[in-house]
Structure 1
Amino acid sequence: MATPIIPLAFFLLILSNPTQSLTDGFVYNGFNGTETNLTLDGASIIIKPNGALKLTNQSKNTIGHAFYSSPFPMLNKTNPSSPVAVSFSTSFVFAIVPSNPGGGGHGFAFTVSPSKQFPGAEPGHFLGIFNSFNNGNRSNHVFAVEFDTVNGFGERADSNGNHIGININNMSSIASKPASYYEKTNVEEEVDMKSGKPIQAWIEYDGVAKMVHVTISPLSIPKPSPPILSHPIDLSTVLQDSMYVGFSASTEELSSFHYILGWSFRTNVKPYPLNISRLPSPPREVTDSPFKLKTGAIIGVVLSVITLFFLTVLLSVILYRKRMHGENLEYWELDCPHRVRYKDLYAATRGFKESEIIGVGGFGVVYKGLLPSTGEAVAVKKISHNSVQGIREFAAEIESLGRLRHKNLVRLQGWCKRKQDLLLVYDYIPNGSLDSLLFNPKNNFVLRWDQRLNILKGIASGLLYLHEEWEQVVIHRDIKSSNVLLDAEMNARLGDFGLARLYDHGDNPRTTHVVGTLGYIAPELASTGKPSAMSDAYAYGVLLLEVACGRGPLDPNSPTGHLLLLDWVIECHREGRILDVVDPKLMSSYVEEEMALVLSLGLLCTQFRPEVRPTMRQVIWYLNGDDKLPVNSMSFGDSSRVDERDSIYLDMISRDGIKKPHRSSPFGEIPSRSNFRTRPYHSSSLGPVSYRSDVLTRLYTSSSSSSGAISVSSLEGGR
């Protein structure tokens, strides 16, 4: 008989406590004492001692936000490859009071967003959530249910302004209905939302059925059934792992007071019930009379005339300084990550002193800096201000890297644009670039083999994220050792996304100019101009060989007589002495089967035909030993194919417009074409690999084919 007392006591506690925050949700019966749990901005305030949350006031074209301070996990990742949006529900009581009788605007929305901030958001029909630039962008990841008292975004003039709408990343509702409820089955009773009377709303998302249900009714009526608006939608592709919930409201030329009187939210189950008897009433706002407004305006004009001369001088000075130091927003700046003040970066880099330079690229200089506010070390990339291509690179890095999050990618902290100075702020990576440690180490430092293998695995993991695991396909287009940075634990981070290209999964890449770094550019780019995951795989294959051999991909002074590192590795592979190419600085301190695997994988990734190269997922399988490398031999085509590849490189060298070469020093240049020579091959294919027999036995597994030859179809078809 005592068992039911516990849930009953818990229920009574919820009803008696006006503010109750729990791990999976919360309930607010009024908002007194909730300041630490809510984030308010714009016109939003909590009215004392009433306890009502006011989102907007009588001002025109204003915005107000009120969000719960902590995010909620909104994706079930039981299956990491296919996360599913969790169920959630909310109930709240609201009131809309027009500031002038007979009119009001614009409305408010219950909003689920990845951020509590909405920089650049506009009032009016955008409801303080979007603007004319980002409205409709899939990268917004916003779910909203709007409660509008005038015609919604894009609606006809004769449509019902008093309506409810479901919105995904856009103010054009995917479903809407006039504000009403079912008093009896199939009999709709209209609800005038701008009547000033309290109205209760219920919003429920069923993650199993993938349905959104919206119900409203006057506060005196229990929750009606069925919902007034139901719409099928899968929020798994809209919501992110961590999301904030709250309200956004706005006004326009006509204004209204938008109040929230009580609010409950919960994930996976129904919301906690609101204690209706404890909710505050809509406040009785006193608006300024026309006489008071007129008198105030006259006084203001008189005072302005008296001080006009002094204000003119002061404003002239301020405007001049703003023009000198102004940062005008452009279209691509609105959706970008955190903006940093120029004066902070100027102080951090000691005025961009030459002594703070830690790297030089094709389009700018990289400085080390210490942020004055936190003392944190950062890397500041300053794009050449007179480079149009540099501006495009700047915008590309902000668009792509600013939203990427992976442990093997360089994290973009923020950005700044002052006049023609374009700057990106990254985490400072203390051990610098991989090429400097391979080719110009200090104090005779040598990267151990286990460190090199871990670096290669890290870059493969980052590329897998870019190619397959992010919301869009990202083709890096400039994978090379100088763009691989090493942190304090020698973990690899891939950076420099200035040449990156993005497209949706399932789409075909567009033709572009051939860009990249000589020695890493896949042969097919010269003929197709279409970068792909396979062209990134080619560059990664060159990186594999570079790390294993300890020399760059292009070396006109190579003692072996080979301009291309790839040519030398192929020749040694063909002659059965593949381990002769190993970096002599390792002094045999490596695992032979691992070294043979990396070299063979490098040759596989640099196959002439892109369809034969492995995906990054396959590369990780091979490196982790989860799958065996295809066995015994690799076809590199006949001599005409090899000559064609060499001709492609020579043609690229002679062109203008190819991006900066691989460099052993920050200021390296490409030698002239006359200094290069190539070594064509005259056999139709390379012979079988002849590593030491004990290494081969451990590295390769027997094939279903009796000949043991490499299978092109197995590479093209995946695992």
Structure 2
Amino acid sequence: MAVDCRSLCLLAAFYAAVISMVLSQDQNEFIFNGFSESSNLHLDGLAKIHPAGLLQLTNTSRTEKGHTFYRFPLKFNRSSNSAPSYSFSTCFVFAMVPQLPDHGGHGIAFVISPSMDFSQALGNDYLGLFNNSNNGNSTNHVLAVEFDTIRSPVFDDVDDNHVGIDVNGLKSNVSAPATYFAKEEGRNKTLKLISGDTMQVWIDYDEEEGLLNVTLAPITSLKPDWPLLSISIDLSEIFLDEMYVGFSAATGSSAASDHYILGWSFSKNGKAQSLEISELPQLPKHDGESKRPEGLVVILLVAVVVLVTISGAAYLFWRRKYGEVHEEWEREYGPQRFSYKILYQATRGFKEKQLLGSGGFGKVYRGTLPSSTAQIAVKRISHDSKQGMNQFVAEIVSMGRLRHRNLVQLLGYCRRKGELILVYDYMPNGSLDTFLFSNGRPLLTWSQRYRILRDVASALLYLHEEWEQVVLHRDVKASNVLLDSNLNGRLGDFGLARLHDHGAKPETTNLVGTIGYLAPELTRTGVASTSTDVFAFGAFLLEVACGRRPMEQWRQPEEVFLVEWITKCWKRGAIFYACDPRLEGNFPVEEMELVLKLGLLCSQSQPLARPSMRQVLQYLNGNTSLLDFSPENIENGMATSNNEAFSDFLTSFPSNSHSSTDSILNKGR
């Protein structure tokens, strides 16, 4: 009998341990492919669970809110001899269906909070999380990831379609327009949060790295390789011993949305389990989806009559508006000529939403060719002079034959009235300029920058020496270096380029280019050459290494001109002080020193003192060592570059003389 009692006690202890383990697992890891009344959820406000398994946070009532939290708290004080772990991973599928197209509000937030009681929180801008008195208080201990469809200036929202990471208030620590990285196309694509479409979110926090990542994608896509948001954060300063995890949503005073959660997975013990998309509940049909207004047939019939009546006039108007310029001599270029109609369709009528960038010489639009779905970049250039158009188009078409892995491929052109339209391959990562100078782009590492410098040098060597003619680019700078899906550098924008035969002297042209990259002799002679491209490449080298433009007038007087600033730093033995501080010293010093000094060498006022692009690439590839020279040599235009012409230059140029163009270098860059 005693044995039986001991057995029963052991069995009871075993079952208690199993139950404890199950409850512990249940509290730290769960998955809902649809919801039910037994899903251990706490609901308040407008939140409810539909019989089909859909979790609805709000309906289209105005200025309302709804909350859903997992009923059991997450425990971070697991034992006295084990430090708490703050890592977590979650994924969920949501949808926002606006009451009116493009007019909904306010949004959804994923929330980790010490309490499930948000009865004092406001709807509208506050997303059902805070109110006027507690917004921003450090005592809130709330982490939220907001999916916001209304721009609230009071919270410094970036736009009306953004994702943000919030700590204790609605002013996001970091935010960005809602996009996802489409791997097949190698670019970011916009997601419209209030489109009514289902979308999936992944939120991951790695305690060891102290990194919180938020990733967004359509429900039909796999998890993108790149997160939308990434921020270094220490959650131990925010979380208390027990925290609840869930969702909040709110509607606005002028518009509202149905906010839905279709599935949810969470884990404190590693990566959250993937949701079974095929098992998720369907969104309900909303009013008006299958209805047809009375009299629609009559309206359609009237519309057909009107369209038939005006079709002839509309066609003539279209021909006048979109007609192209064709001349007999252009027939030989036929295969590389695009019709204006195709380019108009590809860019959706050159809409602003398709705009990739603009400058003094035209605007660039993203487009998709209707016939092949190929992505293209379309640049519109004004050309108000009929004289020379023949030669201009001939040169553009000739450059369409250029083939090099580090050149953006020029696909063709179109002429219409007073403008020339150039068509290029589309580069998904945009220009290097945006990575160097725009917020929201990831910081390029030194190895990535160095590879891009070699890529562009290789492209210029091809243009100067390796093609059938000499191609002068005439506008080398960071904004004309585009990055493909692998962040390889490609030199683009040949709208200002000129050709001449090998051995022939280049002709005088109009002074074109960008201030800060213009060689001094250009302002004096108007003659572009391979050496003027080298000068611009020198400015480009320094731009990439230092993370600043060649000339920035807002700086202190001694720092306005980058060449002067680097030279001064070098003279006082601190040349690395000029490099990009965002790199935080994470670079091989010999490579950084080479790039800085090579940039100064290319930036000399005397053309013969500059190296050729072949020499530049040899330096960058480590095939040739850069000879020693001093900052005084640079200031006097006397630094040696191993150029074959340099020895002749030395004998003809006194060491104590100064070129009349020195002032252009010093004052014009």
TM bin, normalised by shorter chain, reads 0.3 to 0.5
The two structures have a TM-score, normalised by structure 2, of: 0.47
Return the TM-score normalized by structure 1: 0.44
